[in-house]
Chains A and B, each alone.
Chain A
């Protein structure tokens, strides 16, 4: 391959997806470097999945440039797909087959020999911590196990790029952490991860760099840390007032923080020193029911950029 080590694995300029009149992805630009963990963060309907499906070569590009591993999805879809691992939003496992059969039949789609598929299946079962369930049917497995199997399956062709569309949506916290751990190991091995999520903690855990999407456009780009630094303060003080009180504050919080955000259920004070802001609130004679000082997160970045919460 003539790929320069520095040339991006995925390169998009003015990338657009239209469904009739509806614009799902509106002229977005981004690059994903080899070995990078890249995220699309945004609410449902922001265009994340549409972007992923174009990268996965199952959705033709409406406009703009998209190159995946130096190839054109329109012309070399099958070649690109041969080097991709795909973890779709909803599991697409064959629930009537066993765990192992799901891995082996999927490997056969990539033209791997039966012996090779068997060898890799054993390894991946180990990786996904499913060895003990190898010969069980998929149907009764827990959501977390199915998700791990889907990820294991996506690795059967030893992909250069792994596409994960909301990998942990709907899982309980324990299952999510186990999954994050597995993904982190993949990242350590040099697999390029591209994922979508509407969980800030997920993006902060997994992504080296991310773009924030809203209404089909990219509204910000950077590392989780740099985005927080650019669009938020170091800390946030969350105030909850008794019902009806928040509406009567009317300017009483002015000047306490760099920025004050009124949400339906709480008031957020953006300040580098959250404790000091909390003290200042108290000094002004205000008595919120609860006060919580926390570090700023991507949620705050999103709120700042769009004026809305990430999950409605």
Chain B
């Protein structure tokens, strides 16, 4: 039943498949060229980045941050669409499909979207030579995990909303600051100590650190940190998914 919900999105996605694939390539190419190669050429002291070129430092961070953005978008507007704009979730609820299937099927779709865009991003990283270790291929999994850590709780929240008005708040005060200050562009260690603690609490920090440890091949240096990253992100996915099944059910089944 989860598969049927997934299939609906797949049918819908077929319409925009080409332009979506194209922009999935274009976006990392532009970012890595402008910020990695362009801006990066001014970054001479890379000792605090682990001694790697700025491009190599930036690329995995951007990958994780992109996964967060894609996931957050997919967990907001399409969810409202299903409840309000098209009411397709209501249509599904009238069939043998259960609200739980709708929640999990929607999340499964987001995971699939993330897998595709992260795989393309990783290919671009490899093409730029912006990696230090063959473990870079595992960045796909890490980015998907990062994205889902956002998608699941946000989808749970979206299912409680009657309109998209509050989504801009999520993006403006949540997603954008995280994008800038979670270690994507510079190490969190250069933030004031108080903000470092805040950064530590954000999921993107853990996603960036995990993804970067794979592409730089430093994952073995601090196994405890790796465990914390994975555990933190996984917890968000699990708790978020559970919450999403609850909020979707609450929305579709009368009190």
| Chain A interface residues toward B at CB < 8 A | 17, 19-20, 50, 53, 56, 58-60, 77-79, 81-82, 84, 86, 88, 90-97, 101, 105-106, 108-111, 153, 157
Complex contact B94–A56 (CB within 8 A): yes
Does B23 touch A at the CB level, under 8 Å? Answer: no
| 19 chain-A/chain-B pairs, Cβ below 8 angstroms | A50-B254, A58-B93, A59-B254, A60-B253, A77-B98, A78-B96, A81-B94, A82-B96, A88-B91, A92-B91, A93-B86, A93-B91, A94-B91, A95-B86, A96-B15, A105-B11, A108-B7, A109-B4, A111-B96
Of residues 60 through 105 on chain B, the ones whose CB sits less than 8 Å from some CB of chain A are 86-88, 90-98
Task: Find the A residue at minimum CB distance from B97.
Answer: A109
Give chain B nearest CB distance to A59 CB in angstroms: 4
B94: chain A residues within 8 A (beta carbon) = 56, 58, 81, 84, 86, 88, 92
| Residues of B within 8 A of A (CB-CB), count | 22
A88: chain B residues within 8 A (beta carbon) = 87, 90-91, 94
Does B35 touch A at the CB level, under 8 Å? Answer: no
Complex contact A58–B252 (CB within 8 A): yes
What 0/1 pattern do residues 108 to 136 of B give for CB contact below 8 A with A? 00000000000000000000000000000
Instruction: Give the distance in Å from the alpha carbon of A58 to the alpha carbon of B250 in the complex.
Output: 11
Task: Find the A residue at minimum CB distance from B252.
Answer: A58
Give chain B nearest CB distance to A87 CB in angstroms: 9
Instruction: Give the distance in Å from the alpha carbon of A86 to the alpha carbon of B90 in the complex.
Output: 11
| Chain B interface residues toward A at CB < 8 A | 4, 7-8, 11-12, 15, 86-88, 90-98, 252-255
B252: chain A residues within 8 A (beta carbon) = 58
Contact of A81 among B4, B88, B95 (CB under 8 A): B95
Task: Find the A residue at minimum CB distance from B95.
Answer: A109
Instruction: Give the distance in Å from the alpha carbon of A53 to the alpha carbon of B88 in the complex.
Output: 16
B15: chain A residues within 8 A (beta carbon) = 96
Complex contact B255–A82 (CB within 8 A): no
Instruction: Give the distance in Å from the alpha carbon of A92 to the alpha carbon of B15 in the complex.
Output: 20
B255: chain A residues within 8 A (beta carbon) = 19-20
B7: chain A residues within 8 A (beta carbon) = 105, 108
Task: Find the A residue at minimum CB distance from B3.
Answer: A108
Instruction: Give the distance in Å from the alpha carbon of A106 to the alpha carbon of B98 in the complex.
Output: 14
Contact of A59 among B11, B91, B253 (CB under 8 A): B253
B95: chain A residues within 8 A (beta carbon) = 81-82, 106, 109-110, 157
Instruction: Give the distance in Å from the alpha carbon of A154 to the alpha carbon of B11 in the complex.
Output: 20
A106: chain B residues within 8 A (beta carbon) = 91, 95
